[in-house]
C-alpha cells in the first residue's frame, strides 16, 4: 500500500530533522526516512556532539593538572578513566538522540527506519528491516538531506582499528602512544587535541603550507603556535603517499607536497581527516534524471529546489560550508519556502568554530580575501591580555579582530581566537545580519568584566578610540 505525505525528508540529521519539524509546524504531513537506528545524523551520533564531549572532558583533565595551582588549589596526582570518559560521551549522545525522537513524536512526524530510493520524482521505495518494499509518495516535496561521508585518501585504507576516520577516533579503546593525523583542518585538530591531552604524541601531516586553510592567516598562525606549545607536532607541505598497517602499528610514507625524497612516519594509530564528501549513494538519482555537479553535490536554486521539479536538497549535499548549523538553516528555510514564506539565505553570514583550546571562531571575509578582492578595509585588534575577565580567569591567549569597510564602516568579517570564542562570535553574527557597522558595536553596552567586552574594544580600536590598549 502506498502512503502519501505532503513532504518526505530523506535523512534525519541536522539538515533533515529541522526541515521535518518546521514543515510539520507549518501544517504539513511529514515523513522522515533515516537509515540509522537513531536520529541526529553524523553531527549528533559521530561528529559534533561526541567530539565536544571528549574535548570538554580532556580539557578538564588539563585544567586539573596544570591550571588549578595558579588559583591556589593544590591537587594530588590527577588521573583519568578512559572507559568512563567514553561512556559519558555515549550517554550525552544517547540522551540527545532520544530528544530528537521525542520532538518527532511531538510534531506527529512519521519516522521510517530504512533506506530510500527514488522511483519517480514524488515516489520513494523504502527498504526497511520489516518491510522491504514499502512505497511512499509526496504531494508537495521530497527533500534530500542525506549529509556527507568521510573523504578518503589514495593509498590509505581505513579499517577503523589502526587507520581510523573521525568515527573511529571517537571510540579508541586505549590512548595511542603515537597518533598521526592526516589533515590540518578543524576535525583533525579537534580530535588530535583530545588524544594529545590524554597522553598521545600527536603529529599532524598537512599537504598545504599552513593549518586550517581558508582561515585568516594571522589567526591560523596563532593557533599553530599555541597548539605547538601544547605539544602537537606539525609537518606542513607534506603529502601522504601510502599507509602500511600491521599489528604493531602504521608506517606512513610521505614526501614534500612539491615532490622530493620520501620519508616515513611511524604511529600506533592514524586518523584520516582530509574532509568530507556529499553522500548520495543508492538514492537512485539517475532514475529521475537528477545530475550532480563536479563535486558530487545536488545543484539547487534559491528555494533549494533541484533541477527536477518537486525534489529539494539541503545541507552537506549542496554547495556551501559543511557545517551543522548551516544545514539547519537550509532545512528550516526549505520548509519555509514550501509554505510560501520568504527564503533568505546568505552563507557569508554563517559562522564557523574550531573547538580547540583556545577556540577559534570566524564569520565573514578575512584579510587575505579582502586584499585579493581589492576591498579597502580597516581593522581593529584587541588582545585578551588586555581583558580584565581573561586576567581573572587566568587565560589571556588570543585576540579579537574586526574588519570593516574603509568607506561605509560596514562589518566585513570578525575573527576570534581565545577563550569561549565560539560563544562570542554570535554577537558578531547578529551585527552582520542587521548590516551593522563597527561604530554600532562601540555603542553597545557590554557588562563588565566579561570576555565579550573584547569585541567592543576591537571596534573601538578600529575607530581610533581604543581605551584599554
Q: What is the pLDDT of residue 462?
A: 99
Q: Confidence class of residue 1 from pLDDT cuts 50, 70 and 90?
A: confident
Q: Confidence class of residue 284 from pLDDT cuts 50, 70 and 90?
A: very high
Q: Is the bond preceding residue 358 a cis peptide, omega within 30 degrees?
A: yes
Q: What is the pLDDT of residue 342?
A: 96
Q: Confidence class of residue 42 from pLDDT cuts 50, 70 and 90?
A: very high
Structure-block grid coordinates of residue 31: 515523513
Q: Confidence class of residue 2 from pLDDT cuts 50, 70 and 90?
A: confident
Q: What is the pLDDT of residue 173?
A: 97
Q: Confidence class of residue 261 from pLDDT cuts 50, 70 and 90?
A: very high
So what's the architecture of 3-54+83-150+277-347 in CATH?
Answer: 3-Layer(bba) Sandwich (3.50)
Q: What is the pLDDT of residue 108?
A: 98
Q: What is the pLDDT of residue 315?
A: 99
Question: Residue 225: how many CA atoms within 13 Å on its side-chain side?
Answer: 9
Domain limits, the chain: 3-54+83-150+277-347, 163-274, 358-463
Q: What is the pLDDT of residue 418?
A: 99
Is 325 one of the catalytic residues? no
Give mean pLDDT, residues 413-422. 98
Which tens digit of pLDDT belongs to each residue from 93-123? Answer: 999 999 999 999 999 999 999 999 999 999 9
Residue 279 has pLDDT above 80, yes or no: yes
Q: What is the pLDDT of residue 349?
A: 96
Q: Confidence class of residue 74 from pLDDT cuts 50, 70 and 90?
A: very high
Q: What is the pLDDT of residue 133?
A: 80
Catalytic residue among 129, 325, 448, 468: 448
Which of 75-79, 139-143, 391-395, 446-450 shows the lowest per-residue confidence on average (mean pLDDT)?
75-79
Q: What is the pLDDT of residue 79?
A: 97
Can 3-54+83-150+277-347 and 163-274 be said to share one CATH topology?
yes
Superfamily of domain 163-274: FAD/NAD(P)-binding domain (3.50.50.60)
Q: What is the mean pLDDT of the chain?
A: 98
Residue 288 has pLDDT above 90, yes or no: yes
For the domain spanning 358-463, the CATH number is 3.30.390.30
pTM of the model: 0.96
Which tens digit of pLDDT belongs to each residue from 348-368? Answer: 999 999 999 999 999 999 999
Which tens digit of pLDDT belongs to each residue from 297-339? Answer: 999 999 999 999 999 999 999 999 999 999 999 999 999 999 9
Amino acid at each position: 500500500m502506498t502512503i502519501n505525505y505532503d513532504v518526505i525528508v530523506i535523512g534525519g540529521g541536522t539538515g533533515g530533522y529541522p526541515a521535518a519539524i518546521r514543515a510539520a509546524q507549518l501544517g504539513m504531513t511529514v515523513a522522515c526516512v533515516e537509515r540509522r537506528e537513531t536520529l541526529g545524523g553524523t553531527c549528533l551520533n559521530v561528529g559534533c556532539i561526541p567530539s565536544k564531549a571528549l574535548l570538554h572532558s580532556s580539557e578538564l583533565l588539563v585544567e586539573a593538572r596544570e591550571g588549578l595551582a595558579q588559583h591556589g588549589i593544590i591537587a594530588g596526582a590527577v588521573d583519568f578513566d578512559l572507559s568512563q570518559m567514553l561512556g559519558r560521551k555515549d550517554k550525552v549522545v544517547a540522551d540527545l538522540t532520544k530528544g530528537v525522537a521525542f520532538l518527532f513524536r511531538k510534531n506527529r512526524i512519521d519516522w521510517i527506519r530504512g533506506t530510500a530510493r527514488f522511483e519517480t520524482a514524488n515516489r520513494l521505495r523504502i527498504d526497511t528491516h520489516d518491510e522491504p518494499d514499502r512505497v511512499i509518495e509526496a504531494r508537495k516535496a521530497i527533500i534530500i538531506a542525506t549529509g556527507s561521508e568521510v573523504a578518503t585518501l589514495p593509498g590509505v585504507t581505513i579499517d577503523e582499528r589502526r587507520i581510523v576516520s573521525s568515527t573511529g577516533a571517537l571510540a579508541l579503546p586505549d590512548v595511542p602512544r603515537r597518533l598521526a593525523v592526516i589533515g590540518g583542518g578543524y576535525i583533525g585538530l579537534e580530535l588530535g587535541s583530545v588524544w594529545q591531552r590524554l597522553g598521545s604524541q600527536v603529529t599532524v601531516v598537512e599537504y598545504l603550507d599552513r593549518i586550517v586553510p581558508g582561515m585568516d592567516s594571522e589567526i591560523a598562525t596563532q593557533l599553530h603556535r599555541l597548539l605547538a606549545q601544547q605539544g602537537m607536532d606539525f609537518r606542513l607541505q607534506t603529502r601522504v603517499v601510502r599507509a602500511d598497517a600491521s599489528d604493531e602499528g602504521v608506517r606512513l610514507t610521505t614526501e614534500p607536497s612539491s615532490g622530493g625524497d620520501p620519508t616515513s612516519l611511524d604511529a600506533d594509530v592514524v586518523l584520516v581527516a582530509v574532509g568530507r564528501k556529499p553522500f548520495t549513494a543508492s538514492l537512485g538519482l539517475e532514475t529521475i534524471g537528477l545530475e550532480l555537479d563536479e563535486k558530487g553535490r545536488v545543484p539547487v536554486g534559491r528555494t533549494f529546489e533541484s533541477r527536477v521539479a518537486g525534489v529539494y536538497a539541503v545541507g552537506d549535499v549542496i554547495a556551501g560550508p559543511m557545517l551543522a548549523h548551516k544545514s539547519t538553516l537550509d532545512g528550516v528555510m526549505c520548509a519555509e519556502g514550501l509554505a510560501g514564506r520568504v527564503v533568505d539565505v546568505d552563507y557569508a553570514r554563517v559562522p564557523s568554530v574550531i573547538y580547540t583550546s583556545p577556540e577559534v571562531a570566524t564569520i565573514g571575509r578575512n584579510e587575505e580575501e579582502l586584499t585579493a578582492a581589492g576591498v579597502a578595509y580597516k581593522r581593529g585588534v584587541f588582545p585578551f591580555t588586555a581583558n580584565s575577565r581573561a586576567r581573572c580567569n587566568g587565560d589571556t591567549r588570543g585576540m579579537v579582530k574586526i574588519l570593516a569597510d574603509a568607506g561605509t564602516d560596514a562589518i566585513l568579517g570578525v575573527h576570534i581566537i581565545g577563550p569561549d570564542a565560539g560563544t562570542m562570535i554570535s554577537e558578531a553574527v547578529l551585527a552582520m545580519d542587521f548590516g551593522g557597522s563597527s561604530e554600532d558595536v562601540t555603542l553597545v553596552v557590554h557588562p563588565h568584566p566579561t570576555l565579550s567586552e573584547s569585541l567592543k574594544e576591537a571596534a573601538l580600536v578600529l575607530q581610533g578610540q581604543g581605551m584599554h590598549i
